[in-house]
Amino acid sequence: MSQTRRVAPEVVGAQPVAGPHRSRLSRARSFVDLKVSPYLLVSPYFILFAIFGAFPLGFTLWVSLHDWQLAGDKEYVGLEHYEFLLGNERFRTTVVNTLGMFVVATVPQLLLALMLANALNKRLRGRLFLRLGVLIPMVTSVVAVAIVFSQLYGTEYGMINWLLEKVGVDPIDWRASSTASWVAISSMVDWRWTGYNAIIYLAAMQAIPRGLYEAAIIDGASSRQQFWHITVPQLKPVILFTVFISTIGGLTLFAEPLMFGSGRFDGGTTGQYQTVAMYIVQAFRERNNYGLAAAAAWLLFVIIIVVALANYLVVNRIREAK
C-alpha cells in the first residue's frame, strides 16, 4: 500500500535548483547533505542494534561453547552444552511445554480475534466504546495479570474452580498436570492479546473492497462463506503478521508461567509448566551456568526461526488450498 504513495524519485531526491545567488560552497554542502544525511538519520538504530542486538547474539554463541563463570576460567567445551541439552529430559520437557502452550494459546486466540473483528466490523452503535472495550486488557501490566489469574486458578479458593463446582464439575488442580496448567497459562495470554489482535484484523477488514462482497452476495454466498472465502484470504498478510508476533511472544513466554508457580523458575514439581525462557533464567540465575544458559538461548532462537518459517508455510498453504 505504501509503495503506491511513494514519491516519484525525481521529485524528492532532486538536486535543489541552484539559483544564481547560490555559491559553489553551499551547492557542495547541499550535495553532501543529500548524499550523507539519510545514512546519518538511520544510523542510530543500526549502531544500537550492533551493540545491543547483533553483538549479544553472536557472543551468546561464543559463551555457549564454554564453561563460563563470572569470575574465573572460561574453558572451551565445544558442543558439550548442546549435547547435554538435547539429551536432557527436563530441557525437552520445557521445549514441549513452550510449543504446547504456544499452540493452545495462539490457535484459539487468533480465531477468536477474527470473530471478534468480524463482529466489530458490523454496523454498531457506540463503536469507539466497543473497540476500547476489547482493548481493556492492555491496561494491565504483565505480572499483575499473572498474579490475578493465578489466584483465580487457585485450587481451593479460586473462583474458576468455584464456578466449575456450580455447574457440577469437580475442582481441578490447575498446577498438577501439564494439560491443566497449559490451559490456565494460555488463558492469561489469550485474555491479554485477543482484543489487540482483533483490532489489527478490524483495521485490515476495513480495507477490503466492498465490491468483493457485493459480487459474492449476487452469487448467493452466505455470510459464513463470505467470511471464509473473502475476508480470511484477504487478511492473509495481516494474519501472517499476527502469527509472527504471537510466535515470538509465545515462544519466549516467561512472566505468566513464572507467577503461576509463585515466582519459581522450575515451573512445577516436574517442570510441567516450565518454559524454555524459564529454563534459561534458571540456568543463569540459580545454577550460574552461563554456558548452559547461552546454549539454551541459542536453541530457543533456532526454535523460533523454525516455527516462524513453518507458520509462514502453513498460512501460505491455507491460502492456496482455498
Query: Can you tell me the distance from the alpha carbon of 67 to that of 74, in angstroms, rounded to the nearest whole number?
Result: 6
Of 13-21, 78-86, 92-100, 170-178, which part binds other proteins (CB under 8 A)? 13-21
Cell 533456532, located at residue: 302
Out of 28, 79, 86, 143, which residue is the one contacting other proteins (CB under 8 A)?
143
**Closest separation in Å from C-beta 273 to other proteins:** 16
Q: Which three cell numbers stand for residue 156?
A: 481451593
CB 79 within 8 A of CB 65: yes
Is residue 139 a contact residue for other proteins (CB under 8 A)? yes
Query: Can you tell me the distance from the alpha carbon of 302 to that of 281, in angstroms, rounded to the nearest whole number?
Result: 18
Residues 6+ apart with CB under 8 A from 17: none
Give the residue with the Cβ less far from other proteins, 88 or 252.
252
Q: Which three cell numbers stand for residue 24?
A: 559553489
Is residue 232 a contact residue for other proteins (CB under 8 A)? no
Is residue 79 a contact residue for other proteins (CB under 8 A)? no
Q: Which three cell numbers stand for residue 54?
A: 547483533
Is residue 9 a contact residue for other proteins (CB under 8 A)? yes
**Closest separation in Å from C-beta 146 to other proteins:** 9
Out of 75, 83, 214, 286, which residue is the one contacting other proteins (CB under 8 A)?
214
**Phi–psi pair at 123, nearest 5 degrees:** -65, 115
Is residue 238 a contact residue for other proteins (CB under 8 A)? yes
Side chain identity at 61, as an amino acid letter? L
Out of 170, 210, 269, 320, which residue is the one contacting other proteins (CB under 8 A)?
210
How many residues form the binding site for other proteins (CB under 8 A)?
A: 122
Is residue 107 a contact residue for other proteins (CB under 8 A)? no
Is residue 185 a contact residue for other proteins (CB under 8 A)? no
**Closest separation in Å from C-beta 192 to other proteins:** 9
Rounded to the nearest 10°, the torsion over CA 84, 89, 90, 92 is 90
Out of 76, 107, 111, 162, which residue is the one contacting other proteins (CB under 8 A)?
162
Is residue 155 a contact residue for other proteins (CB under 8 A)? no
Out of 140, 234, 270, 311, which residue is the one contacting other proteins (CB under 8 A)?
140
Out of 195, 257, 267, 268, which residue is the one contacting other proteins (CB under 8 A)?
195
Of 77-85, 88-96, 171-179, 254-262, which part binds other proteins (CB under 8 A)? 254-262
Task: Report CA 33 to chain centroid distance, whole Å.
Answer: 39
CB 173 within 8 A of CB 287: no
Is residue 287 a contact residue for other proteins (CB under 8 A)? no
Q: Is 94 exposed, middle or buried, given 0-12, 13-18 or 19+ CB atoms closer than 10 A?
A: buried
Is residue 177 a contact residue for other proteins (CB under 8 A)? no
Is residue 319 a contact residue for other proteins (CB under 8 A)? no
CB neighbours of residue 212 within 10 Å = 15
Is residue 99 a contact residue for other proteins (CB under 8 A)? no
Out of 34, 79, 310, 314, which residue is the one contacting other proteins (CB under 8 A)?
34
- Strands 74-76 and 66-68, by their bridges, are antiparallel
Residues 6+ apart with CB under 8 A from 101: 182, 185, 186, 189, 250, 253, 257, 273, 275
Is residue 24 a contact residue for other proteins (CB under 8 A)? no
